[in-house]
Amino acid sequence: MSSRPPTGPNDEGNGHAEYEMPIEDRSVGFTLPGRNARGRIVRLGPVLDAILSNHGYPPPLAALLAEALTLTALLGATLKDQQGQMTLQAQAQDGLVDLLVCDYLDGALRGYVRHDPARVADLSGTPDLGALFGTGYLAITFDQTVSKERYQGIVPLEGASLSAAVQNYFAQSEQIPSLVRFGVVDRGLAGHSAGGLLLQHLPEGETGRERLHVRHNHPDWEHVAALAATVADDELTDPALPLTTVLWRLFHEDETRIIADRPLTRGCRCSLPHIREVIGRFPEEDRADMRDAEGKIHVDCAFCAKSFLIEM
């Protein structure tokens, strides 16, 4: 049993120290070694506002994108390859929203929602996935730069929220007992704050012992999942509450180790040099088809809502 806040790798003497970090736009990884569990906790603030400000989404869609970005930060930070990319994509054909895309690359986030503005007025309260997407699917893709490997899991868009769909993804695609929690608040002129928690049971027993990840009723998992389920939305989103304090409140009965702490940034990659380089990969006949009557190529970035005029 631990009687101190979560600890990190910078202690003098015993290898453990109380860990201080900025409160917003951070991703913090942790383990509960005595309970065979690992997790991530994330809080977004100015980065979230910077992304949302590009589009002027109505509140229900701003909340949807905030949730998607938070989940992308939670999942992207699990990449072992820091130059790898994680993409979360929700797609449907018959809903108000037909496409939602977010990605994570080395701590940088970007995302957008494509929707039918004429149907926004039909939304009321807190719409579930059915009201937003109709029938659709959620795809989560991990691209590893070093190994050139790609892994993709696809699950139906079912449940009250994207967080529920991601939890379903872990159950179906990864077969790892997982718990996902999310909260968001719009403080008007003070901006948005969103937070999320991902907790997972670690596999064990590769050489003959029973694998924990196929036992959802393992007492260790039941213990930490019950504690994690008590986290409140205001704890996840409070810009004055350190993330380590949230972990301490949840898991103070167990040893909690901080294993990673990294900043999160807004990461649209739509610079003119990058766009020119991408267009330059196309054959000349294809570039000719892209040009307007004046010989210029127009490129719109859905992520940051900017338009670029290219002459080449």
Per-residue pLDDT of 277-288, as tens digits, reads 778 788 888 788
Per-residue pLDDT of 212-238, as tens digits, reads 445 556 788 899 999 999 999 999 999
- The pLDDT of residue 22 is 61
Cβ atoms of 23 and 239 closer than 8 Å:
yes
Q: The pTM is what?
A: 0.84
Query: What are the distances in angstroms from CA 17 to CA 13, 39, 134, 146, 245?
Result: 9, 19, 48, 33, 14
CA 234 to chain centre: 18
Tokens of 160: 């009250």
- The pLDDT of residue 9 is 45
Residue 136 pLDDT grade (very low, low, confident, very high; cuts 50, 70, 90): very high
Cβ atoms of 88 and 73 closer than 8 Å:
no
Cβ atoms of 204 and 221 closer than 8 Å:
no
The CA distance from 16 to 12, in Å, is 7
- The pLDDT of residue 216 is 54
- Dihedral angle sign, alpha carbons of residues 282, 283, 289, 295: positive
Per-residue pLDDT of 174-196, as tens digits, reads 778 899 999 999 988 888 999 99
Give the residue among 6, 67, 65, 43 at the shortest CA–CA distance from 234. 43
The CA distance from 256 to 233, in Å, is 21
- The pLDDT of residue 203 is 62
Domain range annotation of the chain? 25-266, 272-310
Mean pLDDT of 140-166: 90
Beta strands in 129-256 (DSSP E): 136-143, 150-156, 178-186, 192-201
Tokens of 205: 């027993």
205-209, 249-253, 297-301, 303-307: least confidently modelled range: 205-209
- The pLDDT of residue 17 is 36
Q: What is the mean pLDDT of the chain?
A: 84
Per-residue pLDDT of 67-114, as tens digits, reads 999 999 999 988 887 788 999 999 998 889 999 999 999 999 999 999
- Highest average pLDDT, of 36-50, 108-122, 263-277, comes from 36-50
CATH topology of domain 25-266: Hsp33 domain (3.55.30)
